[in-house]
Amino acid sequence: MGMILIDDQLTKRENAHIDIEDRGYQFGDGIYEVFRVYNGKVFRMQDHLDRFQRSADEIGLQLPYGLDRLQSFLEQLIETNGLSEGNVYLQASRGVAPRSHPFPEESRSVLVAYTIEGERPLEYIRNGIRTITEADIRWLRCDIKSLNLLGAVLAKQKAKEHGCQEAILHRDGTVTEGSSTNVFLVKDGQLITHPANNLILHGITRLVVLELAEELGIPVKEETFTLEDLRKADEVFITGTTVEISPVVQIDDYHVGDGKPGPVVHRLQEAFEKQI
């Protein structure tokens, strides 16, 4: 990890400390972003920064400085740590104040960022993943990339206990997204994914897939679909910053299609590779 960013300073991790009354620690009162780095460069940096700002605005959190300056600090962090392939984690909390539920009258947000080395998940991309379905018990503002991730953590843990890589969430049978991904199905050559409303996070890779589908002439519907629709799909795949475009070959106890990645996801993966 090397150096980390705290507010506007790069420092060694062992020199960094967070106060026990930080509202991110006590209330989950904050937001975060995860950026993917390829060959030392952040993929879709501006889209991530814009979403970070939107999340801050939605919860009334004042960032310590503007996005241009933040981008400069993140680029400096990547260069200082010599990160070529991996991720950058960025978080902002509402700051330190005596513990009380309402926003403190005076507090300054605390911003933290660090780098994580990590190779691309090529096995998942090429061969697909196994998933389970799980009830979506999260709050109703999933469009905000907040620190409140316990519902997602529980779903991901259950998937792991079942030997799977992801949990596909649903509300009364209507599929929303994965515990840390967006979900697409393919039926008769058409992509279908949940609308980008308050029930899902509008993923950056999701956005890229929608753009690529338009370029490739693949029809897309952003509309709700059910667990039964998922069961009848020709192909299913998930998208996310760290999983890219990963085919789903098994859901619960049944195979998707013929149990192998399909032709539509292959086309999208090839186009995504060119963007990288």
pLDDT tens per residue, range 78-93: 999 999 999 999 999 9
Going by their DSSP bridges, the two strands 41-42 and 182-187 should be labelled as: unpaired
Above pLDDT 90, what percent of the chain?
97
* Beta strands 30-38; 41-42: pairing state: antiparallel
Give the chain's mean pLDDT.
Answer: 97
In this prediction, residue 202 carries a pLDDT of 97
Query: Among 198, 206, 183, 213, which Cα is nearest to 44's?
Result: 206
40-49 long-range Cβ contacts below 8 angstroms, 24+ apart = 40/78, 40/79, 40/83, 40/84, 42/74, 42/75, 42/78, 42/88, 43/241, 43/275, 43/276, 44/204, 44/207, 44/208, 45/71, 45/74, 47/204, 47/207, 48/204
Distance CA 211, CA 193 (A): 13
For residue 30 the two structure tokens come to: 């904050």
Residue 97 reports pLDDT greater than 70: yes
- Mean pLDDT for 257-261 is 95
For residue 168, give Cα distances in angstroms to 23, 140, 197, 209, 230.
Answer: 30, 17, 17, 19, 10
Which entry of 145, 221, 232, 274 is annotated as an active-site residue?
A: 145
- CA separation (Å) from 204 to 50, 108, 127, 209, 234? 10, 28, 23, 9, 24
Per DSSP, 56 falls in state H
> Residue 218: pLDDT above 70?
yes
145 in catalytic set: yes
pLDDT tens column, 140-165: 999 999 999 999 999 999 999 999 99
Please choose, from the candidates 170, 189, 181, the residue with its C-alpha nearest in 3D space to the C-alpha of residue 230: 170
Lowest mean pLDDT, pick from 104-108, 205-209, 221-225: 104-108
Q: CA-based Rg of the chain, rounded to a whole angstrom?
A: 19
In a 3-state reduction of DSSP, which class is residue 52?
Answer: helix
Amino acid at 243: V
**Is-above-0.85 flag for pTM?**
yes
Name the 3-class secondary structure at 76.
helix
Helix (H, G, I), strand (E, B) or coil at 134: strand
pLDDT of residue 106: 86
Q: State the pairing for strand pair 129-135/166-171.
A: parallel
Residue 44 identity: R
Type of residue numbered 53: Q
pLDDT (tens digit per residue) in 6-58: 999 999 999 989 899 999 999 999 999 999 999 999 999 999 999 999 999 99
Query: Average pLDDT for residues 169-197, to the nearest whole number?
Result: 98
pLDDT at site 107? 86
pLDDT at position 189, please? 96
pLDDT at 254 (0 to 100): 96
pLDDT of residue 1: 64
